Structure 1
Amino acid sequence: MAPNFELFTADGKAFNLHDYAGKPVILHFWATWCPYCKKLQPGLEKLRLNYQDTDLKMIGISFNEDADAKPGQSLRERGVEMKTLVLGDEVANLYGVRGTPTTVFIDRSGHIAWVTNTANPDDPNLDKAVQFLIK
């Protein structure tokens, strides 16, 4: 099962994974300084937009950041509009994340269906995983 957690957005809004019970969720663990994350994120944004008419939720979790980092602003500047949570170091540890990017796919029953460290925005397995999740 995917461990529950609570984090906050940069503007202080709370996010609790339990609130998304029964929905497919993608957790994208990343950092503003990570060049591989920058490479992957346009592909994740394309997926988010392609499946925006479903109940799929895509959440960015920023961790291992410098003190002056602005993750939400960094994503917006890159044209990526996924919800972004900050100060995610404890959650990254909870999920066993060792590096960036790490993307976790959680199915409707709350089980982790797939974890990938790909930085390839065109990896066909990303779309296959989303199709599996939204069934």
Structure 2
Amino acid sequence: MKAFLSIFLIFIGLMSFNASASNNKANQAPHWTLKTQAGKTISLADYQGKPVILHFWATWCPYCKKLQPKLVELKEKYQDTGIEIVAISFSEDEGAKPQDSITQRGYQFITGVEGDKVANLYGVKGTPTTFFINRSGQVVFKSTSSNIADPQLELAVKEIIKPKQAL
């Protein structure tokens, strides 16, 4: 019963946050443009109309390494919705190769590098920090946890994959 109550309260919290987000342009995800490790330009605009898991991380962060398999699992579970994971590496050690780290871990998501300014734009204080952005470009949920058992992660994904609401 406690587990059900906890999940219910989390769901209510997400629904309340989402309801306020849909009526508030202040929750619009800030736009950004970065380069990848290979020099390709990527931006949030590239994912317009898609649900996005925006994951701020660093190669040296053990908590990021713990969380990333869960994010990939959620993307794969809901892949038919067009959901994307976009990572932004920041606060890196000199010579770090973030995309190489992701590839070595067996993941396919893209990573923008030297994302310190974007992290500041989003108010990110540490790693990992993950934003769940809906099809309208609104931040529905923010997580600073690496707890892969946290039911809020999947509930947030279920919110961002909902069809875009007509105005």
Scaled by the length of structure 1, what TM-score is found? Answer: 0.95
| Matches of 1:87 and 1:31, distance apart in 2 | 10
Q: Residues 51-97 of structure 1, C-alpha deviation per residue, up to 9 Å, x if partnerless?
A: 22221111011000011101011111122221111110000000000
SS of the equivalent of 1:53 reads helix
2:41 aligns with one of 1, 10, 14: 14
Q: Which amino acid aligns with 2:147?
A: N
Structure richer in strand, relative to its length: 1
Q: Which amino acid in structure 1 is aligned with residue 47 of structure 2?
A: Y
| 1:93-126 Cα distance to aligned partner (Å, 9 max, x none) | 0000000000001111111111001101232211
Higher helix share: 2
Query: Separation in 1 of the partners of 2:147 and 2:106?
Result: 17
Aligned to 1:52: 79
Secondary structure of the 1:49 match is helix
Structure 1, unaligned runs of 5 or more: none
> RMSD over aligned Cα, in angstroms?
1.0
| Number of equivalenced pairs | 135
Tell me the residue number matched to 1:76: 103
Aligned residue in 2 for 1:132: 159
Tell me the distance in 2 between the aligned counterparts of 1:41 and 1:72. Answer: 13
In structure 2, the gaps of 5 or more residues are: 1-27, 163-167
Moved over 2 A (4+): none
**Identity score, percent:** 56
Instruction: Report what 2:90 is aligned to.
Output: 63
Q: Which of these two proteins has the greater Rg computed from alpha carbons?
A: 2
* TM-score in terms of structure 2 length: 0.77
Q: After superposition, where does 1:28-43 map in structure 2 within 5 Å?
A: 28-43=55-70
- Counterpart selection for 1:90 from 117, 123, 126: 117
